[in-house]
Amino acid sequence: MAAPGVPAEPSPWLVIRPPRRWAPFNLRELWQFRDLLVRFARRDLTLRYRQTALGVLWVVLQPLLTAGAFAFVFGSVAGLSSQGVPYFAFAFAGMLAWNAFSGVLTRMSAVLVGNSALVSKIFFPRLVLPLSTVGSVLVDFVVSMLMMAVIWPLAGVAPGWSLVTLPLWLAAVLLLASGFGLLAAALMVPYRDVQYVLPVATQLLLFISPVGYALANVPHSARFLYELNPLTGLLEGFRWAVIGTARPDLFPALWGIGCAIACFVVGSFVFAHMERKFADVI
């Protein structure tokens, strides 16, 4: 056996010790692996646009079709009001926010199980994988936003100065989705049934959130319950920014932003706590 370490050792580059029970992320390490984050995001984008025949068109078509269906069902059949904006533009703006939310949630939750060979064989900060999924969702968002710019003149809508608040709402939606996404990704490693529950829960959330209709159409008795849903304030804020509908009330907006931050913090702590077992159980 080799002799124990000599005194006056140079300081090691890295010391590996048993982890503490609850520890936050090592941000320095995450920064060192920033190139990997970009590579993973580019891989996702390349694969998606290379493998589908419709490519970019599909990214635009999906919200267009859904917004069309919402405009028909809620606007024409149910005759709901869309706050003075053509129903199609109203529903499309809702779909922009919703697709950012569900895109992050869906891709993030599946990313660890989908890359299990990497997780079990190679070290890198595990957080890189879920975070990389945000990149391709953002690209989709930009493409859809360009479509929105085409819809503005067609629908006779012009966003006002409130458009400058768009990054705030987008960031809050992405934080909220990432919080749930990290939680779901970590839970899916030991419990594969999460992948069956999640699509059902997401679809349910789509209908109980004011995506295809305005909060103003919700009966007053249910309004409080509605506003507990953090997405409600964020969606109202998002539409205020994009198509200039009524400004959201302060409480639901702040509640939505607060929930998004809290959700992200909880999700990332749970992820950091569970990540050390990923390689052993995946």
**Where along the sequence are the contacts to other proteins (CB under 8 A)?**
1-10, 12-19, 32-33, 35-36, 38-40, 43, 46-47, 50-51, 117-118, 120-124, 187, 190-194, 276, 279-280
Strand intervals (E) in 75-128: none
Query: Which two structure tokens, joined as six digits, stand for 151?
Result: 């819809």
Could you tell me how many residues make up the chain? 282
Select 125 or 244, whichever has its Cβ closest to other proteins: 125
Select 163 or 282, whichever has its Cβ closest to other proteins: 282
Select 192 or 223, whichever has its Cβ closest to other proteins: 192
Amino acid 78 reads A
- DSSP secondary structure, 126-187, as one string: TTHHHHHHHHHHHHHHHHHHHHHHHHHHHHT----GGGGGHHHHHHHHHHHHHHHHHHHHHH
The least distance separating other proteins from the CB of residue 46, rounded to whole angstroms, comes to 7
The least distance separating other proteins from the CB of residue 106, rounded to whole angstroms, comes to 18
Select 19 or 258, whichever has its Cβ closest to other proteins: 19
The least distance separating other proteins from the CB of residue 268, rounded to whole angstroms, comes to 18
85's enclosing H/E stretch is: none
The least distance separating other proteins from the CB of residue 266, rounded to whole angstroms, comes to 18
Query: Which two structure tokens, joined as six digits, stand for 167?
Result: 């990054």
- Specify whether the CB–CB gap between 152 and 159 falls below 8 A: yes
The least distance separating other proteins from the CB of residue 242, rounded to whole angstroms, comes to 35
Select 33 or 72, whichever has its Cβ closest to other proteins: 33
The least distance separating other proteins from the CB of residue 103, rounded to whole angstroms, comes to 21
3-state secondary structure of 248: coil
Select 186 or 257, whichever has its Cβ closest to other proteins: 186
Which residues in 241-269 are b (16+ Cβ under 10 Å) and which e?
Answer: bbbbbeebeeebbebbbebbeebbeebbb
Tell me how far apart the alpha carbons of residues 41 and 183 are, in angstroms, rounded to a whole number: 20
Distance from the Cα of residue 246 to its chain's centroid: 24
